[in-house]
């Protein structure tokens, strides 16, 4: 491609520089376009717009590739641990043994919450959705940890990142305990990240939680699979919130709010509900017909970026089988429905034509249910894992000298200026 793109507008030709990444599509730099043409570009949903430069995650949706700092997600899920991946996302390189031990120690020793923070949960109704609690509680972190809210101080930025990665499982487990009416369980420093989280969720005063290596590994892997995903809706929300200079805890709360939607992080809950609604394999054709009649969508299918099998879905499917076998649910009827639904959809022209493949959420609901989580917790678990991606992307943005407040423009189609009409004359 040439080094500049040309746009003719209003009898004028404007040269726009073409930027090249290390891989992926070239990017037409339109930053000067408005100044030179007096026109905006229009791209609701950002289907053709790169909103930032980033070195963290690369996705080739057509090839089904997902790389974190250059490492394929399948390899990280197989060989890495969640904290190893967290370090990689935050720092750009995999840690050596000492760096790993130090990082693990730092995260482990930041898992506790301020004692007063626990009272915050009592303000929520008992039947509050755990995501509602998460949105509020994570935002409230900025009221407790003033010494890590100065975004201009690199050390404070790193401390806030550590605090968020460390405290998110504790907050999530408390949201779960509050939702189920059980007492809070404090973190323990002798357990791994995933072990600690599962224990805080499933231990009760009458009976401690016993670690199970298969289930712990599955939890850790699920965290790795959801750790980052380039400029998705919630990450873009975090960046946009952060672009105004808001503190990192407030920005992550904004990301959690965005993640909650059924088209994003809420999809795994919806996918499980859908499998339950279908119930048995014989009802699949009728359900598929409803999708084709556009009465509803096949949840856990399709992706804005992947027009091929989501590489995370491959690992998730394997993990799903391992977990179900471990908990003695290998014959789970919902797994049978999922597998048959996937088989039929992948051979059906409607789905082939639209390049609709299972995404990471298709199998995650069944897996999380087998781990013992109710559907209301699924998006919460996603938020725990994605926190490192959000904070790494936020940090990258703050450290980018070219960053400015995010302020999109619009195509205005409303009324022109008109005179105000008093109420008795309307």
User: Which positions are catalytic?
Assistant: 303, 361
Among 303, 369, 386, 395, contact with ligand ACO (rule: CB under 6 A): 303
Burial class (CB in 10 A: 0-12, 13-18, 19+), 332: middle
Shortest Cβ 353–ligand ACO spacing (Å): 8
Q: Which is nearer to ligand ACO, 44 or 328 (CB)?
A: 44
By the rule CB under 6 A, 301 interacts with ligand ACO? yes
Shortest Cβ 299–ligand ACO spacing (Å): 5
Shortest Cβ 294–ligand ACO spacing (Å): 6
Q: Which is nearer to ligand ACO, 141 or 320 (CB)?
A: 320
Shortest Cβ 235–ligand ACO spacing (Å): 11
Among 298, 341, 368, 397, contact with ligand ACO (rule: CB under 6 A): 298
Q: Which is nearer to ligand ACO, 276 or 304 (CB)?
A: 304
Which residue's CB comes closest to ligand ACO? 302
By the rule CB under 6 A, 175 interacts with ligand ACO? no
Shortest Cβ 131–ligand ACO spacing (Å): 14
Stretch 344-373: interaction string toward ligand ACO, x if CB under 6 A: ----------x-x--xxx------------
SS3 of the chain: CCCEEEEEECCEEEEEEEECCCCCCCEECCCCHHHHHCCCCCCCCCCCCCCCCCCCEEEECCCCEEEECCEEHHHHHHHCCHHHHHHHHHHCCCCCHHHHHHHHHHHHCCCCCCCCHHHHHHCCCCCCCHHHHHHHHHHHHHHHCHHHCCCCCHHHHHHHHHHHHHHHHHHHHHHHHHHHCCCCCCCCCCCCHHHHHHHHHHCECCECCCCCHHHHHHHHHHHHHCCCCCCCHHHHHHHHHHHCCCCHHHHHHHHHHHHCCCCCCCHHHHHHHHHHHHCCHHHHHHHHHHHHCCCCCCCCECCCCCCCCCHHHHHHHHHHHHHHHHCCCCCCHHHHHHHHHHHHHHCCHHHHHCCCCECCHHHHHHHHHHHCCCHHHHHHHHHHHHHHHHHHHHHHHHCCCCCCCCCCCCCCCCCCCCCCCCHHHC
Among 66, 200, 299, 335, contact with ligand ACO (rule: CB under 6 A): 299
The Cα–Cα gap between 21 and 16 comes to: 16
> Which of 314, 308, 305 lies closest to 355, judged by CA?
308
Q: Which is nearer to ligand ACO, 145 or 351 (CB)?
A: 351
Binding window for ligand ACO (CB under 6 A); candidates: 27-35, 291-299, 385-393, 404-412: 291-299
By the rule CB under 6 A, 311 interacts with ligand ACO? no
Shortest Cβ 297–ligand ACO spacing (Å): 4
By the rule CB under 6 A, 297 interacts with ligand ACO? yes
Shortest Cβ 76–ligand ACO spacing (Å): 17
By the rule CB under 6 A, 386 interacts with ligand ACO? no
Binding window for ligand ACO (CB under 6 A); candidates: 166-174, 301-309, 393-401, 416-424: 301-309
By the rule CB under 6 A, 225 interacts with ligand ACO? no
Q: Evaluate whether 315 touches 371 at the Cβ level (below 8 Å).
A: no
* Residues in 240-269 at the binding interface with ligand ACO, rule: CB under 6 A: 263-265, 267
Total site size for ligand ACO, rule CB under 6 A: 18
By the rule CB under 6 A, 148 interacts with ligand ACO? no
Contact set with ligand ACO (CB under 6 A): 263-265, 267, 291, 297-304, 354, 356, 359-361
């Amino acid at each position: 491609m040439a080094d500049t793109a040309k746009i003719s507008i209003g009898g004028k030709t404007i040269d726009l520089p073409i930027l090249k990444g290390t891989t992926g599509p070239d990017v037409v730099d339109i930053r000067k376009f408005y100044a030179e043409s007096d026109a905006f570009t229009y791209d609701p949903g950002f289907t053709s717009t790169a909103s930032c430069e980033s070195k963290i995650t690369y996705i080739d949706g057509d090839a089904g590739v997902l790389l974190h700092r250059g490492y394929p997600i399948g390899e990280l899920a197989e060989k890495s641990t969640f904290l190893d991946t967290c370090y990689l996302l935050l720092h750009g390189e995999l840690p050596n043994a000492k760096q790993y031990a130090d990082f693990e120690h730092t995260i482990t020793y930041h898992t506790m919450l301020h004692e007063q923070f626990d009272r915050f949960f009592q303000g929520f109704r008992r039947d509050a959705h755990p995501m509602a609690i998460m949105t509020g509680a994570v935002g409230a972190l900025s009221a407790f940890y003033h010494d890590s809210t100065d975004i201009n101080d690199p050390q404070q930025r790193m401390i806030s990142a550590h605090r968020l990665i460390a405290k998110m499982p504790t907050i999530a487990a408390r949201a779960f305990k509050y939702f189920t009416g059980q007492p809070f369980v404090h973190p323990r420093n002798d357990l791994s990240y995933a072990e600690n989280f599962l224990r805080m969720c499933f231990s009760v005063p009458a009976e401690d939680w016993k670690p199970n290596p298969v289930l712990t590994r599955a939890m850790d892997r699920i965290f790795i699979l959801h750790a980052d995903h380039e400029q998705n809706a919630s990450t873009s929300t975090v960046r946009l919130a952060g672009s105004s200079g808001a503190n990192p805890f407030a920005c992550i709360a904004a990301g959690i709010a965005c993640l909650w939607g059924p088209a994003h992080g809420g999809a795994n809950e919806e996918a499980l509900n859908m499998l339950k609604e279908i119930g048995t394999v014989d009802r699949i054709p009728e359900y598929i017909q409803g999708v084709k009649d556009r009465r509803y969508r096949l949840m856990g299918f399709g992706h804005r970026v992947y027009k091929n099998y989501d590489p995370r879905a491959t690992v998730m499917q394997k993990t799903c089988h391992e977990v179900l076998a471990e908990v003695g649910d290998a014959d789970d009827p919902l797994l049978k429905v999922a597998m048959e639904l996937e088989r039929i959809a992948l051979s059906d022209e409607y789905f082939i034509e639209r390049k609709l493949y299972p995404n990471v959420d298709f199998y995650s609901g069944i897996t999380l249910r087998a781990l013992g989580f109710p559907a209301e917790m699924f998006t919460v678990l996603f938020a725990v894992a994605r926190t490192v991606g959000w904070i790494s992307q936020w940090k990258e943005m703050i450290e980018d000298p070219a960053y400015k407040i995010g302020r999109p423009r619009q195509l205005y189609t409303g009324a022109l200026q008109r005179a105000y009409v008093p109420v008795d004359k309307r």
